Structure 1
Amino acid sequence: MKITFHGAARTVTGSKHIVRLKNGKAILLDCGMFQGMGKETLPLNQHFGFDPTELTYVVISHAHIDHIGLLPKLVAEGYQGPIYLTDATEDLAKVMLVDSARIQEADVMHINKQRAKEHREPVKPLYTEEDAQNVFPLFVTVPYNQPTQIDEDVELLYTDTGHILGSAAVNLKIREDGRERRITFSGDVGRYRDVLLRSPQNFPQADYIILESTYGDRLHESVKPMVDDLLDYITHTCLEKKGKLIIPAFSVGRTQELLYALNRLELEHRLPPLKYYVDSPLSIKATNIIKSHPECFNAAVQKLLRQDDDVFDFKGLEFVESAEESIALNESNQPCVIISASGMAEAGRVKHHILHSIEHPRNTILIVGYCEPESLGGRLSAGAQEVSIFGKRFPVNAEVGVIKSMSAHGDYEDMFQWLSCQDAREVQKLFLVHGDYDVQQHFRDKLVKKGFLDIEIPYQHQQIGLG
């Protein structure tokens, strides 16, 4: 048996790992898109490094685009087997993939207009909306905590990781040469005491663990002050400076956390009387899906739901769907809060909001999640004095703020707690993925002290045999 790491290897996005059995079966864990890596992004997404027709199964951990974003391309290039995922992940994936396809097609249309002026050949999108729709008939949902025999050699068990709605660790039992090997792929591990979701669950003892490491070198600030930090930015920007507070936020997870925090401020009679816009059709659809899965909420949210039937709604909130309404927000000088995708500010409407706000000191751009260093959000949070947006340079005169406590990824203490159900002596090898290489090296040192002695940090397309 071998594992090959085709994405999120010494980088954070593009999650793709293949478990290959001697009998020829091949199981792909996630099929994610690379994001926010500058000029490297497109070439990385154009070539899988493997033949999709050779795969037997695909198993998905959760619905973020860096974990599912290349499924339409995979199917378009010949994969026709089952795609396993949780119920909530299926609901989210359907809207996420269609939205991603529309972005691909819109971006290519814009690029080809410029190429036509230069008498250059047009380019094609990574995939189309039709390609995305072709993925959905292959979906096979599997409940949490229910061992499912995929075939005579492979059993799948999903355990909740509390990262986003529907997120799960993939626990495989694989029989080969008369032996059973237990492989766990973490997907992305959430935080204990999350604002909205249940805490990550314990998982069965594993022989091999593929573990994310996004925040393997740091501890998050306490979640509790996040509401107060958000209120401070609203007060400072909208009331004192009379400007706009622009918040790039992932459509799934982060947007709902922000809405929940603003709802809490209203319940506490502390929410300033302003307009609060969610400008992302995808975020609107995702919020409605999340509302339809209250079983995934933690006990505190469940309790609040008994007195407030919509914990994501409050006075002053408006959802913006049409492009015309979005453009009108840019033309208005009224103080307001605009929450818009994408979270790294690499695509979508938030990029236009930043473009129209970045030169004015009265405005604030607030980063509330992880951003790849080469992404627009990453450059802003690193203190860039000038940035390029749609090929044009802009001075960064707007204030740039960061709330670090809102990450949906666990820090290294959360990771240790998640691993605490394991006997480290039985874990034959632990692979670190989904993290920057320098972070992974620090995390490896910490894991060794916890008793995990054989730890590997695979590089892109590296194949490793399992004993």
Structure 2
Amino acid sequence: MSIKMYSLGAAQEVTGSKHMLEVDDELYLIDCGAFQGRRAEADKKNRDFNVPADKLTAVILTHGHYDHCGLLPLLSIHGFKGNIYATPATRDIANLILMDSARIQARDAEFLSKQAKKKGERFDWQPLFDEEDVVNTVNQFVTVSYHRATWLSSKVLLEFYDAGHILGSAMALLTVRDSSGKEVKIAYTGDLGRKNKPIIRDPDTIPPVDYIVLESTYGNRRHEDLDNALHILARTAKELVRSCGKMIIPAFAVERTQELVYYFHLLVDKQIIPEIPIYVDSPMAVNATSIFQVHPECYDKETQEAFVKHHKNPFGFNALKFITSVGESKELNTIDGPMIIISADGMCEFGRVTHHLSNNIENPTTKILLVGFMAENTLGRRLQNRETEVKIFGEWHQVRAEIVQINAFSAHADYAESTEWLQSLDTSRLQKIYLVHGEPDAQKFLQDYLAERDFSAHIVKYGEVFDL
């Protein structure tokens, strides 16, 4: 039996996850993510779609983040007729993410077309896919719960284990079995999460495997202590009450927003902070929160005990209000503080958060709380770098607001946490670890760090074929 593995994305880079597994004449794709980064570069890479969609036996989706699911509609466009296997929560989140992407692309196409027409220029940019393509894609999903083995063919068995990254995230364990009963076991971590994160469970311990395809996003970094982060969060909230100011928190709509709501709920419940009005101003975050509410099967023990058993909603309490309409969002500018506004986009490049920043950034009583990774050349990174003047909507603003940063809320394991997870496994049959989903410096550090602990790791290059 022939087993080959190679990657067509997230190889020595973080985004665009696409990992191929060939078993004789069967072809499997694990994740089909979009590339992200500088707009023109990412658009070109996403259009150079390199997956032989019409030859795929099946697709496995580890979770619903855009860099893992963002190009799924291109599969059906290019002739894929098979099943996409995912957990129930991942299907729902992927549907939300893909629909949002289709709408954004449609709006971009309309805007760019008008701009080109005004300039008398030719315009031929088209969206990668539309809402109908998303519907067709979602209809191909087959949901599989954690720890329920499912045969994808007579040779390949799939079992999902909780990755502890976001709601519904999974590690995919594939058992390849030949006619004589000989087995090869391969685990794809997707994005590996962390212990003691709110709402969702810790990463599962998987059974013994021969190969692990391991993410390495933070292969050379350590995260801050969570208890200290919550102390900073509480202290900042109390200072806000004294100054009657506004706290603006740029946050991604899926997971980070719900995590922040959970922490504020907990701090209020424990009477560590007073009931400050909290507004979640992001239509997508509102929809994502609804998905969280219908998937309590993904909650960890602490969330079950703190909220579900007492018939409380972890995403709903007196001080919290969800904003959907543009009018309500604009009205927040006329209301005096103290108040907390959680709004997308997490890097301050798009969405309603940019309006809140432009209206409040020059006010010394404003606090801007940065809680996630900020890519180069984004407004978020400029705020993170403490630049004294920034441009928003083409206008320069003096940064008089206080910038506060917390680096403990990442959903990715750092190098020590990834290693600790590996050391918790039965590695008696483990032959090799393949590093993906990371920048070269992070991967080299992690490779060396693992080698010092007797793990053999290889950094995967784009298109590099491995015979297993």
Q: TM-score, normalised by structure 2?
A: 0.91
2:326 alignment partner in structure 1:
323
Of residues 304, 311, 321 in structure 1, which corresponds to 2:314? 311
* Deviation for aligned residue 1:89: 1.1
- Trace 1:168-187 onto structure 2 (pairs within 5 A): 168-175=170-177, 179-187=182-190
CA contact (8 A) 1:425 1:452 kept: no
Alpha-carbon distance between aligned partners in 2 of 1:146 and 1:200, rounded to the nearest angstrom: 17
Per-residue displacement from partner, 1:155-207 (whole Å, max 9, x unpaired)?
10100111111111011112469653211110111111222221111112222
Per-residue displacement from partner, 1:198-254 (whole Å, max 9, x unpaired)?
111111222221111122222222222333221222333x33554332212122211
SS class of match (2:313): coil
2:193 alignment partner in structure 1:
190
1:78 alignment partner in structure 2:
79
CA contact (8 A) 2:211 2:433 kept: yes
* Deviation for aligned residue 1:359: 4.2
The amino acid of 1:161's aligned partner reads A
Name stretches of at least 5 consecutive residues in structure 1 with no aligned partner.
Answer: none
Alpha-carbon distance between aligned partners in 2 of 1:160 and 1:313, rounded to the nearest angstrom: 25
1:296 aligns with 2:298: yes
1:261 alignment partner in structure 2:
263
Alpha-carbon distance between aligned partners in 2 of 1:387 and 1:53, rounded to the nearest angstrom: 47
1:464 alignment partner in structure 2:
465
Alpha-carbon distance between aligned partners in 2 of 1:392 and 1:83, rounded to the nearest angstrom: 45
Per-residue displacement from partner, 1:4-54 (whole Å, max 9, x unpaired)?
22222222222111112332x221111112223454222222222233223
Of residues 13, 16, 21 in structure 1, which corresponds to 2:15? 13
CA shift in 2, pair 1:40/1:385, >3 Å = farther
Of residues 201, 206, 210 in structure 1, which corresponds to 2:204? 201
1:371 aligns with 2:374: yes
CA contact (8 A) 2:9 2:15 kept: yes
CA shift in 2, pair 1:40/1:383, >3 Å = farther
Of residues 373, 379, 401 in structure 2, which corresponds to 1:398? 401
CA shift in 2, pair 1:183/1:388, >3 Å = farther
1:415 aligns with 2:418: yes
CA contact (8 A) 2:28 2:57 kept: yes
Alpha-carbon distance between aligned partners in 2 of 1:270 and 1:208, rounded to the nearest angstrom: 46
- Trace 1:416-435 onto structure 2 (pairs within 5 A): 416-424=419-427, 426-435=429-438
Alpha-carbon distance between aligned partners in 1 of 2:24 and 2:385, rounded to the nearest angstrom: 46
CA contact (8 A) 2:218 2:442 kept: yes
CA contact (8 A) 2:375 2:381 kept: yes
- Trace 1:14-93 onto structure 2 (pairs within 5 A): 14-23=16-25, 25-93=26-94
* Deviation for aligned residue 1:373: 3.1
1:452 alignment partner in structure 2:
455
* Deviation for aligned residue 1:325: 1.9
CA shift in 2, pair 1:126/1:294, >3 Å = same
CA contact (8 A) 1:346 1:375 kept: yes
- Count of equivalent residues: 463
Name stretches of at least 5 consecutive residues in structure 2 with no aligned partner.
Answer: none
1:162 alignment partner in structure 2:
164
